[in-house]
Structure 1
Amino acid sequence: MHLEPCSITSLGGINPTFRADMDVVHIDEKWFYRTRNTQNMYLSHREEAPHRECKNKSHIQKIMFLSAMARPRYDAQGNCVFDGKIGVWAYTEWVQAKKRSQNRLRGAWELKPADTVDKEKSREYLVKYVLPAIKEKWPESDRWNTIYVQQDNAKTHIKPDDPLFLQEAARGGWDIRMIYQPHLILLTQTY
C-alpha cells in the first residue's frame, strides 16, 4: 500500500496520506491502431497528403507500446533535474517476408508489429530495454536507493521473483525490484 505508515492509526486512520513514491517506476502497455478509417487533415497548398496503406479497412493493424515513467525531480530553485521519462518501446519483431512484392523480395527481413505479447516477450523487453534505460536515466543522487518497478496485474506480466529479471536488475550493484500495482481499497469514514 502506498500510504505513509505514520498517518494510519489503529482507530481507522483519520487522515491517511500517500507516500511521495520517488522510488517507483510505473510501466504499462497500450494498444494503438496504425491508422484510422477516416482522418481529417489540414494541409497547406504546398504539402502532400501522407501515404497510408493497409490491406483492408476492416483489418487495420494494431501495435502495442510499453512505456516506463517515474515522478519528476526538481532542485531547490525549481529547475527540473530529472523529467521522469524513462522510455517508450514498440513490441515488434523481425520476420522474413513470405511472398515477393514490388517493395521487397521473398525472404527479406522486415520489421512487423508483434502479434502476441506473452510472459517471454514481456520479460525480454524488461531486461533488454527497461532496465538499461532506468540505469542510464535514474538520478545519481538516488542511485543507491531501492527502485521499485510497478506493473499492473495482467497475466502476461512476469512475477516479482523472476530469476532472469532479478539477475539483470542486480547487475552493477543496483537494487531494482518488481512489484504489482496495489489493489483498490475503499476507505470510508463514518461520522
Structure 2
Amino acid sequence: MGVSQSTVFRWKKKKLIRKHTNAIKPHLSDNNKVDRLIYSPSCTLNSMTNTFKFTDMSNIVQIDEKFFYITKEQQTYYLSPGEIEPHREIQSKRFIPNIIFMCAIAQHIFGTNGEVIFDEKIRIFPFTSQVPAQRKSKNKENGVLETKPIQSITKQHIRAMLIDNILPTIREKGPTHKSKTIFI
C-alpha cells in the first residue's frame, strides 16, 4: 500500500480498510463438471419410482487422507511467571517432517426416540511403522521399537491400510442396521 504500519493500523481502527482472508478454490475442468452432473442425480434418483428423492446414505462410509506437519517452524506460547521456555529441535527447519492420516466417517444414525445409535466417527489411522532403533543413545537403547512416519505412501500402503485397519473397524463399529452392503 506504500504507507507506514501506524497509518494502516489507524485506518483499520477507523474501519477504512478491512481484513480479508481468501481461500484458493479448485479449478474444475469440463470433465470434472460433467462427472459432478452425473454423480449428483445418481444420489437422488429413486430407480423404483423414477422420481428424485434424497438417497439414504447410511450405508456409505467416506474415507479421506490428510497430512499434518509434526510441528510448526514458529510456535506461540503463553508462559506463567517462572515457567521455563520449551526447547524444540528438529533436524532441519526447512524440511519439517509430516505425518499422513486416513480417516473414515459415515452418516449419523438416530433411533426412533432421537437417540444417537451411531455417531459418524469410525476412526482415524496414522501411516506409521514400528522400526527398531539402530543405535543406542541417551534417550533409548539399541533395538527399542520407535514409531516413525512413512515418508512415501504407495498403493500397497493404502491397500494394506484398507484391508488391515479400516475394513475390520467398519465391521466392528460401522453402521449396521438396514443393509449389510456398505459402500466406501
TM-score, normalization by structure 2 = 0.66
Q: Percent identity?
A: 35
SS for the counterpart of 1:87 is: strand
Match of residue 139 from structure 2: 103
Question: Which structure has the highest helix share of the two?
Answer: 2
Give, as a single letter, the amino acid of the residue that structure 1 aligns with 2:72.
Answer: R
Give, as a single letter, the amino acid of the residue that structure 1 aligns with 2:75.
Answer: Q
Match of residue 65 from structure 1: 101
Match of residue 127 from structure 1: 163
SS for the counterpart of 2:117 is: strand
Alpha-carbon offset, residue 48 of structure 1: 5.8
Unaligned runs of 5+ in 2: 1-38
Deviations 1:113-149, CA, capped at 9 Å, x for gaps: 011111111111111111111111124423x431001
Residue 148 of structure 2 is aligned with which of 89, 112, 116? 112
Alpha-carbon offset, residue 35 of structure 1: 0.3
Give, as a single letter, the amino acid of the residue that structure 2 aligns with 1:26.
Answer: Q
* 1:145 partnered with 2:176: no
Alpha-carbon offset, residue 53 of structure 1: 3.0
Conserved? CA contact 1:69–1:85, under 8 Å: yes
Give, as a single letter, the amino acid of the residue that structure 1 aligns with 2:177.
Answer: S
Deviations 1:43-80, CA, capped at 9 Å, x for gaps: 44586655533112112110000100000111233221
SS for the counterpart of 2:183 is: strand
1:85-104 correspondence to structure 2 within 5 Å:
85-104=121-140
Return the alpha-carbon distance in structure 2 between the equivalents of residues 71 and 51 of structure 1.
42
Distance 1:18 1:45, change over 3 A: farther
Conserved? CA contact 1:32–1:64, under 8 Å: yes
Return the alpha-carbon distance in structure 1 between the equivalents of residues 82 and 56 of structure 2.
50
Distance 1:145 1:92, change over 3 A: same
SS for the counterpart of 1:101 is: coil
Conserved? CA contact 1:35–1:52, under 8 Å: no
Return the alpha-carbon distance in structure 2 between the equivalents of residues 53 and 132 of structure 1.
38
Bigger radius of gyration among the two: 2
Conserved? CA contact 2:102–2:125, under 8 Å: yes
Return the alpha-carbon distance in structure 1 between the equivalents of residues 172 and 85 of structure 2.
39
Conserved? CA contact 1:28–1:66, under 8 Å: yes
Alpha-carbon offset, residue 18 of structure 1: 4.0
Conserved? CA contact 1:73–1:81, under 8 Å: yes
Unaligned runs of 5+ in 1: 150-191
Conserved? CA contact 2:46–2:55, under 8 Å: no
Match of residue 80 from structure 1: 116
Alpha-carbon offset, residue 90 of structure 1: 0.6
Q: CA RMSD in A?
A: 2.7
Give, as a single letter, the amino acid of the residue that structure 2 aligns with 1:5.
Answer: L
Aligned length: 143
